[in-house]
Amino acid sequence: MIIKFERRTDQPDAAGRCKVYLVATFDGQRLRLSTGERCETAGWFAEKGRFRKSFAGYQDANDVLDALGERVAKAYRDLRTTSVVVTPALLKEALAPKVAAADLPPAPLLTDLFGAYIEVLRARGFRFHTLKGYKTAHNTLLEFAATRPGRLTTADYDAEVHDGLLGHLRDVRGSAQNTVAGVVKQLKPFLAWARDERGQALAVDPGKLRVEWEDVEKVWLTAAELGRLETVKLPDNLGPVRDAFLFCCYTGLRYSDLSALHAGNVKEWDGGRILRLTQTKTRTGVSIYLTPPAGALRWSGESGENWVLNSQPHGKSSSHETAAL
């Protein structure tokens, strides 16, 4: 390694002083570092790469140059002993001042970071019902963290703590397997985000956290059961609930889509009516034919307002038996 010092004349300050740089050449590469010193032309001996005696404090300034040169040479020797390919970037990293762990700010709490993650997802356009699932997982983490002593950060969340969370879900909350799997499913991308976008240290590999879903028996109502539900006598306050449920059964709509329906969604088509809407969860457009059972829950309303769904089947409702959607 050859170390020299040079005064760059292309960037003088208002007083005509230019920066002094260390230039180290090694293995066909070059490292350039600012020494933090400045001087005018008269104060610099270009051939020797040192400050002249006319420069105020020249001895101290030259000692600074010598000390920096020794640091660079030592860092280069130390890196060579590790058998790595020494580059200017590695040298700069080795020369950077080391910050004591005690001087670093404390890592954010796992739960605080999860809350920030949800806000990031909201800003990136994630939908309400997706965010709702992450909020549920966040609440679970808050509850679990409250049972543990001390601070819980991403660096503390190791395999043992993860097993503790799973045990908390099953033993304390009594959660079913798919609920547990749902929390783990939402925890994995959060941990990857904390590592990749927030520079947090992790004690587990998110990709290796297992998500095991359990097949559950699917049940449904038959046409006869839906028919009985249409005619069963219910308190006035439950009639609208029943009608909303039936309408979802007849159309396949999620409640989030049902609650957002308005007059513009209803179109005439081939002698009947269809619903045209963009689904809230998937953001896909759909057209749904209103079958006779669905069409029997007739729509009425006033201009400029959400439409309302009659609370009696087959169009036999009175005006006061309607439920606003």
Position 102 scores a pLDDT of 60
Is the pLDDT higher at 217 or at 164?
164
187 Cβ contact partners less than 8 Å away, ≥ 6 residues apart: 137, 141, 206, 209
106 Cβ contact partners less than 8 Å away, ≥ 6 residues apart: 151
305 Cβ contact partners less than 8 Å away, ≥ 6 residues apart: none
The sign of the dihedral angle between the CA atoms of 249, 251, 257, 263 is negative
81 Cβ contact partners less than 8 Å away, ≥ 6 residues apart: none
CB 222 within 8 A of CB 250: no
Predicted confidence (pLDDT) per residue in 260-274, tens digit: 888 788 888 888 888
How far is CA 225 from each of CA 220, 222, 288, rounded to the nearest angstrom? 10, 5, 22
pTM: 0.51
Predicted confidence (pLDDT) per residue in 205-260, tens digit: 999 998 888 888 888 899 899 889 888 998 988 888 888 888 888 888 888 888 78
Position 61 scores a pLDDT of 93
Helical H runs in 18-151? Answer: 58-81, 88-95, 110-123, 128-145
**3-state helix/strand/coil string of 153-196:** CCCCCCHHHHHHHHHHHHHHCCCCHHHHHHHHHHHHHHHHHHHH
